[in-house]
A = this chain, B = another copy of it.
């Protein structure tokens, strides 16, 4: 690739996702929206609400990826420990952020801003807030780590209000061909095309629907012309094989 790839890692914090009760909806949104900015989501981890695990994971991934996004654990209850864990990971004190406090004071009716809700004003010292246009309690950014809410609508709004801070590289373009043919029939042809187009990443994603085995063939590249050429070859391969199968 001509440009350095800009990478991101998502940390989904929450026992609820791991137990299977709640399905994450944030990974797909971030994967897609980061790519629009030329940033490639190259890893995602789902980790439990345990301080030691969160701190160690943040320190592992913030050194290895250009950007880290966390979702979950920034509400007012005792199990919301993301802010304090991020502060610990950075070796920074957790402070009551005056700007965040002012936002909460403006939002809640007098008397409603109790101790638990005030916890949502805590950030590592030096953090930059991320606006939350929906339920007000802000997220924050410290270094390359963006701390977002877990509720999808709130996470998405926070992403929108902070994405101008991200600097992407070349956008990875994609194209796809859906084939109602078993992968095993296409594999040799696809391998040959992949060999001729090293700058295009060709993935085959099988499905099994109503008794039919097929695959979605997805091509991705930063090079638009090569992507189009590779896609034309894949399409031709699939059409030829479908014809052969019909006549067989």
Contacts and interface: CB of A to CB of B under 8 A. Distances in A.
A41 B17 CA distance: 10
Contacts of A206: 75, 150-151
A66 interface: no
Given A42-B48, A153-B208, A218 B18 contact: no
Contacts of A112: 184
A-side interface size class: 35 or more
Contacts of A78: 187, 190-191, 194, 202
Contacts of A33: 20
Contacts of A187: 76-78, 114, 116-117, 119
Interface string A108-141: 0000101111010000000000000011000000
Nearest to A186: B77
A239 interface: no
A157 to B, nearest CB: 11
A38 interface: no
A92 B218 CA distance: 31
Nearest to A113: B184
Q: Which 9 A-B pairs have the closest CB atoms?
A: A116-B187, A20-B31, A20-B32, A77-B204, A117-B184, A44-B46, A20-B28, A78-B191, A76-B184
